[in-house]
Structures are given as C-alpha cells and as structure tokens.
Amino acid sequence: MPNFYPIMVAFAILMLLLLVCLVDAIPTTLDGPFPPLTVSLDDSGFRGNAVDLPGTDPRVRRMVNGFEPEQISVSLSTFADSVWISWITGESQIGEDIKPLDPNSVASVVRYGSLRHTLSHEATGYSLVYNQLYPFQGLQNYTSGIIHHVRLTGLEPGAQYYYQCGDPSIPAMSAVHAFKTMPISSPQSYPNRIAIVGDLGLTYNTTSTIDHMSSNEPDLIVLVGDVTYANLYLTNGTGSDCYSCSFPQTPIHETYQPRWDYWGRFMEPVVSTIPLMVVEGNHEIEEQAEHKTFLSYSSRFAFPSVESGSFSTFYYSFNAGGIHFIMLGAYISYYKQVQVAGKRPGKCR
Ligand SMILES: *[C@@H]1O[C@H](CO)[C@@H](O)[C@H](O)[C@H]1NC(C)=O
Ligand SMILES: *[C@@H]1O[C@H](CO)[C@@H](O)[C@H](O)[C@H]1NC(C)=O
Ligand SMILES: *[C@@H]1O[C@H](CO)[C@@H](O)[C@H](O)[C@H]1NC(C)=O
C-alpha cells in the first residue's frame, strides 16, 4: 500500500492555513446573511484628548504647484453608470483683503477610460468658490481654492476605470487614478464591503481609523456627518477640544477653514479611489455672515441630489448594487409643505 501519510499531513496543514485565513478576514456581505451582532464598547483606549494633525504635517500640506489638482475624490451618482469626480485648484486665502479666485479661470475636465494608457473619454463639469466671512473686528475671512465637480456617465457597472482630472489647456492634469463602479442594482448583487464612519475629524486617531478602514479594502465609504471639526478652531488657527469651554466670548462660533483643505489632502489617497458619500452633521453648520450655513460642506462635496430628485445637499439617494441608500440629513424639514429658501420641497421618489 502506498504511504499517504505525508500527503495527509500536507493536506491538514493546508486546511488549517485556509481556516486561519477565513477566520482572520472580515467577512463580506456576500458571505452573509449573518445574525445581528452587538459588541459592547471597549473604552480602555480612550485616554485624554485626541490630538489634531498640525498644518505642518506632510499629509496635510499643499504639495501641488500653480493650478494642479489636489484633494481629488470620487463619489457615486444615483446609479452604477455614473460617478462624480471632485478636486480643488489654486490656493485658498485667509486674513484681510482676500480676493476670491474666478472659478471660470480654470477648466473642469476629466479624461477617463477602462485602460490606463488610453483615456479616450472626456467629461466637463462646473466649478465654484465659497467664502467664509466674519463681519467682526479681529476675525479673519477665508476664500476657497476653485472647487471642481465633474460627472462621468455611460459607465459599465462593476468595472474598473482610470481617470485624470484638471485643465489640459494650462496644462495642469493630475496623475492617473482608478476607481470601480458599483455592481448592477439587483437582489443578488452587492458591493463586498462598505465602511460606515462618522465623527472623523483629523486627529492622530483619525489616521489609525483610516488605516484600519483602508486595510479592509471597502468598495464604498459612507460618512454620516461630522467631517473635519474645523469649527473647534478660531479664525486665527488656535484650536481646542471644547470650543465653548475655551472660547466662551467669541461674537460668533468661528471656524478655521484651512482645516477642510488639510482634511481633503489627508483623505485624497483613499477617496480618489474609493467612492465617498457624505451627509451633514452639526459640525458642518459653520454659521457665518448673513446667517449662511453649511457652505463648506455643500460646496466641497458632490452629491447625487439632482439625479435622485432632491435638489438639496442635505438629502439624496443612490444605489450600491442591491442596496438603496437614502441619506437624510437632520438639518432640513421633511414636512412636505415647507419650502426651504432656494430649495424645492422634499419630494418622495
Ligand atoms: C489616540 O491618539 C493618541 C495620540 O494622539 C494615542 O496616545 C492613543 O493611544 C490613541 N487612541 C486610540 C484608541 O488609538
Ligand atoms: C470679512 O468680511 C466681512 C463681510 O464682508 C467684512 O465685514 C469684514 O470686514 C471682513 N474682515 C476682514 C478681516 O477683512
Ligand atoms: C488667537 O486668538 C486667541 C483668542 O483671542 C488668543 O488666545 C491666541 O493667542 C491667538 N492665537 C494666535 C496664533 O494669534
């Protein structure tokens, strides 16, 4: 009889390795359905206060020249055949005598295709700047770089695409990045993993949260409010863990808008590849002159609002395979009769 023993041992080791791999990896939605699981909070890691990344950290500093694109991100449109690409060009300004850039001075162009070296399709979009103004003695005003949003259409579901963005006439085009569209919308079709995160901020703990999230290779990131915490800062760049404790006397709740640019730069390596869907939280209110609110939030991100029939940045919907997401921010009335200034009343679709 032939000796099967070494083969059996090898087989056993192989099965063990497979088991370790299976146990180690976080299961995907395709491995489910799973019974609901509740894990109680382990608060042993909460020691003292989180420390913000300073503006000098290389991960948040502006590394581009002139009107080269930075803070590049991908977000989904309502259906799998379309995505939004967003980025910023030019330098923001903070202080006195700020001069807003002309958003039309830099074009919004994305070249894309399914082959890295043949970006045969081209789409154009729109651009804007926003200002954060404080009509109070001693406070500084901010004006953003040029924010670009371009919608790509006619994409295949579940497919990889390469793209570069910028203004080819300067020329100032970005490096080539890649993203994957969502799978088709049907009952057996789902993204593998979706990361859901909130209260992100830009602390050293944010960096470990993002590292952990990225190591699990999500197909989509859903950020459910409280993005940069720029509103824990005064306009002179001094921050605190508790705004009202440290700065009880300010004439308005100030913000330090450059922290949004820091956040956009820090996130670019992740969100230029993995689509990010955001909805607003209280830290995005950021009231300024003339009682304007949510300007940074509404300007910097692309939302599938028009595509999903909402016409507001505060609520919208989209599909991710067989999942229909309904994003409902808490800062708008959902009562049908209420007409919000400049917005159409909420309509159910
Ligand atoms: C948060 O970051 C601080 C350093 O800023 C570190 O000491 C602490 O361990 C981190 N907490 C967690 C839960 O990672
Ligand atoms: C900021 O803008 C407001 C509103 O236009 C203005 O009243 C204020 O003087 C400006 N502040 C500075 C420092 O330029
Ligand atoms: C910013 O303003 C606060 C409150 O007036 C002050 O305590 C702080 O020293 C200022 N910081 C800078 C960098 O000017």
Amino acid present at 321: G
* Ligand 2 pocket, residues with Cβ under 6 angstroms: 96, 133-135, 140-141, 289
| DSSP state letter for 77 | -
Could you tell me the residue ranges of all domains in the chain? 66-328
* Closest residue to atom 12 of ligand 3, CA basis: 236
Starting from the CA of residue 54, give the closest ligand.
1
CA atoms within 13 A on the CB side of 146: 20
Question: Three-class SS of residue 317?
Answer: strand
- The DSSP H or E segment spanning 327 is strand 323-328
pLDDT score for 133: 98
pLDDT score for 36: 85
pLDDT score for 341: 47
Distance CA 305, CA 278 (A): 12
For residues 59 and 52, is the Cβ–Cβ distance under 8 A? no
Distance CA 74, CA 261 (A): 16
* Closest residue to atom 9 of ligand 2, CA basis: 135
pLDDT score for 339: 55
Starting from the CA of residue 202, give the closest ligand.
1
* Closest residue to atom 12 of ligand 2, CA basis: 96
Amino acid present at 40: S
Distance CA 109, CA 166 (A): 5
Bond before 171 cis per omega within 30 degrees: yes
pTM of the entire predicted model? 0.89
Question: Three-class SS of residue 36?
Answer: coil
pLDDT score for 320: 98
Distance CA 42, CA 130 (A): 41
Write phi, then psi, for 39 (nearest 5 degrees). -115, 125
CA-based nearest residue to 259, from 231, 240, 285:
231
DSSP 205-253: HHHHHHHHHHHT--SEEEE-S----GGGB-TTS-B-S-HHHH-TT-SS-
Q: What distance in angstroms lies between residue 97's CA and the mean position of ligand 2's atoms?
A: 8
Starting from the CA of residue 143, give the closest ligand.
2
Q: What distance in angstroms lies between residue 253's CA and the mean position of ligand 2's atoms?
A: 15
Distance CA 142, CA 288 (A): 11
Q: What distance in angstroms lies between residue 270's CA and the mean position of ligand 1's atoms?
A: 21
Pairing type for strands 220-223 and 194-197 reads parallel
Q: What distance in angstroms lies between residue 48's CA and the mean position of ligand 3's atoms?
A: 23
Please report where in the chains the tokens 């808008």 appear, as a residue.
257
Pairing type for strands 109-113 and 160-167 reads antiparallel
Which two tokens mark 266?
Answer: 């820090």
Question: Three-class SS of residue 323?
Answer: strand
Q: What distance in angstroms lies between residue 272's CA and the mean position of ligand 3's atoms?
A: 35
Grouped pLDDT means (10 residues each) for the chain, 349 residues: 56 51 66 84 75 98 98 98 98 97 98 97 98 98 98 98 98 98 94 96 96 96 98 97 95 98 98 98 98 98 97 97 96 76 41
Helix axes 258-271 and 204-215, enclosed angle (nearest 10) = 20
Domain 66-328 sits in CATH 3.40.50.620: no
Please give the span between the terminal C-alpha atoms of the chain, in angstroms, as a whole number.
71
